[in-house]
């Protein structure tokens, strides 16, 4: 996508995101959505699942003995699908309402013994390499954010994804892998450059489109492992 078209698309996406944020602020009651064939509860103040969530679910490879970390889990869609396959899943989110939502969805799907929700800014406070798989479907847009609804769609300066790749190797077991969602309106060259800069080998393994954007999933591994 050329520079002019990319900027036009970013502005269109930004308008859609503003509408999502306002809808999140106005919501006062929990509601239920069907996503990738399963029902999920969404509490007020939590961003609902979208096409990119189901794309990560489809693309990620999770084995029965894997221990998984789902970062920025939101409603817990990715974490729930991972927990249906994996030995154990930890789901983190900085938003307390999201953590409550994840717990509700773990209970809804009978996975409370394998899926643990933790309030944390990216990584749980373990301080040790513990995960075979780490998934992250972050806010894609570099745009100012002042509250939790805005932080669910905007990441000023791409700060969160930069910190993620600066630290994720430290929580991966040898041979571990990362599954990252991204979108073309957030610039594929940026995210690929960041992964390379942080010493990750990567490949684009799946993609999907809606009316405005191309969503992709990368599988990445620290090059030294």
Model confidence pLDDT, tens digit, residues 156-207:
999 999 999 999 999 999 999 999 999 999 999 999 999 999 999 999 999 9
Contact 213, 14 (CB under 8 A): no
Tell me the percentage of the chain whose pLDDT exceeds 90.
Answer: 84
H or E segment and range at residue 22: helix 3-26
| Predicted pLDDT of residue 188 | 95
Mark 202-225 as b/e (b = at least 16 C-beta within 10 Å). beeebeeeeeebebbbbbbbbeee
pLDDT string in tens for the chain (225-residue length): 545 555 657 788 889 999 989 998 999 999 999 998 999 999 999 999 999 999 999 999 999 999 999 999 999 999 999 999 999 999 999 999 999 999 999 999 999 999 999 999 999 987 666 999 999 999 999 999 999 999 999 999 999 999 999 999 999 999 999 999 999 999 999 999 999 999 999 999 999 999 889 999 999 999 865
C-alpha to C-alpha distance for 195 and 211, rounded to whole angstroms: 27
| Predicted pLDDT of residue 9 | 77
The length of the chain is 225
C-alpha to C-alpha distance for 77 and 70, rounded to whole angstroms: 10
For the chain, list the domains and their CATH numbers. 3-222 (3.40.50.150)
């Amino acid at each position: 996508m050329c520079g002019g078209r990319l900027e036009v698309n970013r502005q269109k996406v930004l308008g859609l995101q503003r509408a999502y944020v306002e809808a999140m602020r106005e919501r006062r009651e929990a509601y239920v959505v069907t996503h990738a064939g399963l029902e999920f509860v969404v509490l007020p103040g939590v961003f609902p699942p979208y096409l990119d969530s189901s794309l990560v679910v489809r693309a990620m490879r999770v084995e029965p003995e894997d221990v998984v970390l789902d970062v920025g889990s939101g409603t817990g869609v990715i974490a729930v699908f991972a927990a249906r396959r994996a030995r154990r899943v930890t789901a983190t989110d900085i938003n307390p309402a999201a953590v409550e939502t994840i717990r509700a969805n773990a209970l809804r799907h009978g996975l409370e013994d394998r899926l643990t929700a933790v309030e944390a800014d990216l990584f749980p406070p373990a301080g040790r390499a513990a995960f075979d798989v780490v998934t992250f479907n972050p806010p894609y847009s570099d745009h100012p954010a002042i509250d939790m609804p805005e932080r669910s769609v905007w990441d000023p300066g791409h700060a969160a994804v930069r910190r993620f790749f600066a630290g994720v190797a430290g929580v991966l077991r040898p041979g571990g892998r990362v599954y990252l969602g991204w979108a073309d309106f957030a610039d594929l060259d940026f995210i690929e450059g960041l992964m390379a800069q942080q010493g990750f080998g990567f490949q684009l393994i799946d993609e999907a489109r809606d009316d405005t954007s191309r969503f992709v999933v990368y599988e990445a591994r620290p090059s030294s492992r």
